[in-house]
Amino acid sequence: MFYKRILPNGLTIVEIPQKNSRTATVLVLTATGSKYEEKQINGISHLLEHLTFKGTKKRPNHLLITEPLDRVGGTYNAFTGEEYTGYFAKVEKSHFDLALEIMSDIYLNSFFQRKEIEKEKNVIIEEINMYADHPSHHVQDLWLELLYKGQPAGRLISGTKESVVNISRKDILNYFKTQYSAKNTIVVVAGNFSNARKKIERKFAGIKKEEPIKKEETKENQKKPAVLSCYRKTDQTHFCLGVRAWDIFHPKKHVLDLTASLLGGMMSSRLFVRVREELGLAYYLRTDFDKNSDTGYLVTQAGVDNSKVEKAVSAILKEYQKIAKEKISLAELKKVKKHLKGKMVLGLETSDSQAVFYGLQEITKKKILTLDQIYDKIDSVSREDVLKASKEIFKSSNLNLSLVGPFRDKKKFEKILKL
């Protein structure tokens, strides 16, 4: 069970009580991320997330924020996505008030000192360098650039080194003022707690009431297969291969959740069996259906020997073709439904996972489905639904391939990119 309330000032509160839990989690979410940024301030959501831990009026340095939580064994962090930014603290239940106090303080009262801004810019630049040095991560960035180049959806959440350097304190204050406002904020509490609503109302009484800025709508405009390759002298090529798909509001999105799992979401999935077990081409391989409010794609990622990229890509495409031509078996459908439901249960055992499960639904859709309601959606998917959805998305004109490896010429990949 959960309880949702919208206060008169626009702030949303979601409570998920778990009386048998020995922990409590406070998660504060704002509906802003890289899709809300103009090009010149790309990375500002992520930078702001880092800076909130640097000091507030009440806690003027980072140790006064982190040490109290460390003393009670708390787990705390923050994250930035394309459409949201979140801050959380998970503690033993008797320390719920401490977690709420610190999370509300950094969310409302960070003062963004110039010297801390410049130091944290350097930290983020090293973070950008770290991910760029990992081909398996960098290929995911290339994938988004390939799909949405020139749009906020195609930019890095972290920003570029150039954009991060040029973000000013004034930019940060203006962005903080509009995006960290009551209408844009959700406070989620999960676990074992008491009187949460009244405590949250008091702690967030001073939240700003500015009207948040809206994000630019993402445009989909693909008419033929596309390839983006980054040349690297590597022993292994990492690639992302997939298709544009549906957003989070599509009524049949659960069909693609099943389709992605069936293709590459488990060790007995079709692609894992074919590409790893039978052909021995890859150590890791997975297929995901990633969806946001205005974008969605199904993508398979793998790392293979440089000489076997074409073979691996062709093998994946054949499985895409097969699932779009033949109904899956009843046994496969039952297996993948049980897999998805079981995976969800295992992922929701803790108070922090509960907070994220309910909070992200509310921040992205303004609508929360319980686990049982999602189960009903999954159970309603038929073999015909999977076939129809696969026919719709698995088309040559919808294919995309990003690679990181020792290739300067992408033409040979363009030739095989067809269904």
Segment 328-362, tens digit of pLDDT: 999 999 999 999 999 999 999 999 999 999 999 99
Domains 3-203 and 226-416 alike in fold: yes
CATH topology (fold) of 3-203: Cytochrome Bc1 Complex; Chain A, domain 1 (3.30.830)
Q: What is the DSSP string of 58-77?
A: SS-SHHHHHHHHHHTT-EEE
Q: Which of 97, 122, 106 is nearest to 55 (CA)?
A: 106
The pairing of beta strand 185-191 with beta strand 236-244: unpaired
Residue 314, pLDDT score: 98
Residue 330 CA: distances (Å) to CA of 24, 264, 361, 384: 41, 18, 30, 11
Q: Sheet containing 3-6: which strands, arranged edge to edge?
A: 3-6, 12-17, 185-191, 23-30, 85-92, 75-80
**Residue for token pair 């004109």:** 397
The whole-angstrom separation of Cα 261 and Cα 255 is 10
Tell me the pLDDT tens digit for each residue of 216-247. 999 998 999 999 999 999 999 999 999 999 99
Of 181, 172, 171, residue with least CA distance to 212: 181
Compute the distance between CA of residue 75 and CA of residue 280 in angstroms, rounded to an integer. 40
Q: List, for residues 313-324, the tens digit of each pLDDT value.
A: 999 999 999 999
Place of tokens 């992205």: 364
Q: 156: Cβ–Cβ under 8 A, 6 or more apart, which residues?
A: 34, 42, 43, 128, 141
Q: In CATH terms, is domain 226-416 a member of 1.10.390.10?
A: no
CA dist 5 and 196 (Å) reads 12
pLDDT band at 41 (very low <50, low <70, confident <90, very high): very high
Report the 10 Å Cβ neighbour count for 32.
Answer: 29
Distances in Å between the Cα of 64 and the Cα atoms of 53, 54, 119, 281 are: 9, 9, 18, 50
> Per-residue pLDDT averaged across 379-407, rounded?
98
- What is the distance between the alpha carbons of residues 46 and 51, in angstroms, rounded to a whole number? 9
Confirm if 418 and 396 have CB atoms less than 8 A apart: yes
Query: For residue 105, which amino acid is it?
Result: D
DSSP helix/strand/coil, 10: coil
268 in Cβ contact with 343 (< 8 Å): no
The sign of the CA dihedral 262, 265, 268, 270 is: positive
Residue carrying structure tokens 């010297």: 115
pLDDT at 206: 93
* Predicted pLDDT at 185: 98
* CA nearest neighbour of 255 among 291, 302, 294, 300: 291
Cα(309)–Cα(376) distance, integer angstroms: 39
271: burial class by Cβ within 10 Å (0-12, 13-18, 19+)? Answer: buried
Mapping DSSP to helix (H, G, I), strand (E, B) and coil, where does residue 226 land? strand
How many whole angstroms separate alpha carbon 190 and alpha carbon 16?
Answer: 5
Mean pLDDT of the chain: 97
**At how many degrees (to 10) do helices 196-203 and 96-109 cross?**
30
- In whole angstroms, what is the distance from residue 320 CA to residue 338 CA? 22
Name the strands in the sheet holding 282-291, side by side, starting at the edge strand that comes first in the sequence. Answer: 226-231, 399-405, 236-244, 296-305, 282-291
pLDDT score recorded for residue 358: 98
pLDDT, tens digit, for every residue of 156-195?
999 999 999 999 999 999 999 999 999 999 999 999 999 9
Strands 185-191 and 12-17: parallel
